[in-house]
Structure 1
Amino acid sequence: MCLVAPAALAQSNFKPGYILPPSGDTLRGEVDYRSEQRNRKLCRFRPAGAAAVTEYQPEQLLGFGYSGGRSYQSRQLPGATAEKAFLQVLALGKASLYLTVRADDREAYYAGPATTGPLELLVQRDTSIVVYNKAIGREINTLERSYPFRSKLALLMSDCPKVQASIVSMELKEQKLLKLFSEYNACVGGSTPQYVVAERKAKVRFSVLGGVYQSEMKVTENDKKLPLEAAWQPTFGVGIVVNPGFFHHKLSAGLQALYVKQSFKNSYTVPSPASSTGLEQKDVRVDFSMVQLPLLLRYTFLEGPVRPYLQAGFQIGAVFQKKAEVVTTRQLFGSSTREIEMRTMITAPVVAAGISLPTGSVGSVQLEARMGWQDSYSQATQALTSAKGLSLLAGYTFGK
């Protein structure tokens, strides 16, 4: 990870595009495809593949864009300090809508009249307040949501009564904003051409994964919980990643199938319940193979060349080729074997953290650490308990 990340950060990803100089002439060539945080402050352009790269700040261009993709305009941001930024265009018309992502990875929406009027920051705010709860008879902390952006939109679109009812119950979500601006511009624009960014469509991608898996659990013997730990074993599998159109663009869902195999073996000397002074030896052996089926929800923090992510979900495990036994040896009494009946299906919550490294339009590489917890591997709830497993995985997801 340490070796790959700096190289990925240094990469450029030029795609066919254009810039709009103050003269108004469109210059076509290639524009570096970067994260929203970076596009906000800088545009990197070259006329052709072998030409030198020129960097432009928002004060130097009217805007830029990618052929068949996102477009940006240089706009003055509201506030006490005069600051310009390249804002992604979401809708243009008598009322226009823009998006940017700040340095702290938070999205900010701006709206204003036409393409040259002053912009307003659209704000939706959650505030922690203390209220008295009659059901439990005491005060509790709760969140109260306020919607300052609604009054700004109502004023901006005051000449179209048709959309005012929608603004009253509006949430600050991109798809709802796009629908509102489209309806308003059609209401007041008549036959005037307007622009609305294409609605996101669902995407399905396939992935392959491989790595190592190690787990541990406890076996109960003579009312004592004895620890068991398996060695690292290979794991591999496949998965699908789904980005529904109605999801936030940083969210995705994934379903995977992973094969794991584990072997536990340990010996203990414990007091014998049959004798106050005697000891007995416990030789514990547990072997199983399992197909894990995790269903995960992923949140990706950034959209740059290195993209950290967190994911969490639920996992079902189908256990097969299973065997668990405890061999008890007592002096003068010999040995006896007790088999532990193992479950065929287990469930577990799962959390993971990793990074994704895009490889252009071909796909992306993932490096991830994942932890899961199981209640019990045995039919008897107190036999094989406190189980948890750690996976270190590398994967490749095909497609952008």
Structure 2
Amino acid sequence: MKHRFTLLFFFFSFSVLAQRDFRPGFVVTASADTLRGLVHFRENRRELCLFKANAGSAIQRFTVETARSYGFTNDRTYEVLPIRPDSSAPETRVFAWVLVRGKAELFEVDQRFYTRKAGEVFALRTRMKDVYVGNRWYKAEDREYERLLATFLLADCPTIQLADGGGVAYSNYALTRLFEVYNRCTNSTLALPTSAKPWVKWEWTAYVGAGSQSLHLFSYKNGAEGTLSSGLGPVFGLQGGFSSPRMSERLSTHLGVFYSQFLLSDTQETV
């Protein structure tokens, strides 16, 4: 007896890659000397920078006390920034990721955003608050950062109308685009350190191969069992990978589909 089976598989995966590489870059020391060489690439390092003059050199460690900034060629730049994540938290100095330079500058630290204008640093904060509506309590987002941007930090650009319902999402992409618009609007010198990287990147991979299948069957009713097996059959697949190199090189999402068809026949049967 022969049976034809068509198999269609879908899969979804989320990848997180480790980062242990040194890349061409620079360090600006606390005394304003610029060292060029290789810098250890790690996206979320807040308080330490590892530097080598060349591939064979010993590693030098720089902290927020011994360096002003560091960065990578045509890629990310980090600068020492005094921040206060919450209004009640003490001020700390960290290496902040520079997203936008200009009259109003934008930084990111641990997925929180900060801006600097006229030498003063401001935290762009969002929080959840309780709202009482219709005899019920609800959780609602309080976008404190929008009020700060609309009424003070970006108020001198008529193109930006956050106060009139033109809200902006609390995200790397949305805020970067907003600060880019502001600095162009005010004729400021604009710099986007990671502009060479795309916001969105797709990668496609096709698969063609061959495989075989076997299927073991057993009946609890009468004790019959048997095995169905096939010869070689074709296998086709397509996988798509999505990532945002400008925001993170570590994270990517994959979606794929595989198709195969096999003709299975009995190899044995016992009762």
Q: Which of 265, 277, 282 in structure 1 is aligned with 2:216?
A: 265
For residues 242-281 of structure 1, the aligned pairs below 5 Å read 259-266=210-217, 268=219, 270-271=221-222, 281=224
Shift of 1:117: 1.5
Q: Which of 79, 85, 89 in structure 2 is aligned with 1:73?
A: 79
Give the distance between the partners of 2:215 and 2:132, measured in 1 at CA. 52
Aligned length: 244
Partner of 2:230: 287
Partner of 2:66: 60
Partner of 2:169: 171
1:98 maps onto 2:102 in alignment = no
Instruction: Give SS of 1:161's match.
Output: coil
Structure 1 unmatched runs, 5+: 1-7, 102-106, 133-138, 206-238, 241-254, 272-279, 331-400
Give the distance between the partners of 2:159 and 2:20, measured in 1 at CA. 46
Residues 27 and 69 in structure 2, CA contact (< 8 A), matched pair in contact too: yes
1:118 maps onto 2:121 in alignment = yes
1:158 maps onto 2:155 in alignment = yes
Shift of 1:314: 6.3
Instruction: Give SS of 2:169's match.
Output: coil
For residues 1-400 of structure 1, the aligned pairs below 5 Å read 12-33=20-41, 35-38=42-45, 40-78=46-84, 79=86, 80-101=89-110, 107-114=111-118, 116-120=119-123, 122-125=124-127, 144-154=140-150, 155-165=152-162, 168-188=166-186, 190=187, 192-197=188-193, 198=195, 200-201=197-198, 202-205=200-203, 240=205, 259-266=210-217, 268=219, 270-271=221-222, 281-287=224-230, 289=233, 291=235, 293=237, 295=239, 313=255, 315-319=257-261, 321-324=262-265
Give the distance between the partners of 1:168 and 1:108, measured in 2 at CA. 21
Letter in 2 for 1:159: D
Structure 1 residues 49 and 328: alpha-carbon distance in aligned structure 2, compared to 1, 3 A threshold: closer
Residues 30 and 47 in structure 1, CA contact (< 8 A), matched pair in contact too: yes
Structure 1 residues 194 and 129: alpha-carbon distance in aligned structure 2, compared to 1, 3 A threshold: same
Give the distance between the partners of 2:267 and 2:131, measured in 1 at CA. 57
Q: TM-score, normalised by structure 2?
A: 0.71
Write out per-residue CA displacement over residues 100-137 of structure 1, whole angstroms, 9 at most, x where no aligned residue: 33xxxxx22222215x32231x34456798999xxxxx
Structure 1 residues 326 and 260: alpha-carbon distance in aligned structure 2, compared to 1, 3 A threshold: closer
Letter in 2 for 1:318: S
Letter in 2 for 1:194: L
Structure 1 residues 130 and 264: alpha-carbon distance in aligned structure 2, compared to 1, 3 A threshold: farther
Letter in 2 for 1:32: H
| Higher strand fraction (1 or 2) | 1
Residues 125 and 145 in structure 2, CA contact (< 8 A), matched pair in contact too: yes
Give the distance between the partners of 2:141 and 2:252, measured in 1 at CA. 26
Which has the higher relative contact order, 1 or 2, with Cα contacts under 8 A spaced 6 or more apart? 2
Structure 1 residues 259 and 85: alpha-carbon distance in aligned structure 2, compared to 1, 3 A threshold: farther
Structure 1 residues 161 and 146: alpha-carbon distance in aligned structure 2, compared to 1, 3 A threshold: same
Residues 240 and 256 in structure 2, CA contact (< 8 A), matched pair in contact too: yes
Give the distance between the partners of 2:234 and 2:90, measured in 1 at CA. 60
Residues 270 and 282 in structure 1, CA contact (< 8 A), matched pair in contact too: no
Shift of 1:143: 6.8
Shift of 1:295: 5.0
Shift of 1:56: 0.9
Letter in 1 for 2:169: E
Give the distance between the partners of 1:173 and 1:150, measured in 2 at CA. 12
Which has the greater radius of gyration? 1
Structure 1 residues 187 and 299: alpha-carbon distance in aligned structure 2, compared to 1, 3 A threshold: closer
Shift of 1:327: 8.2
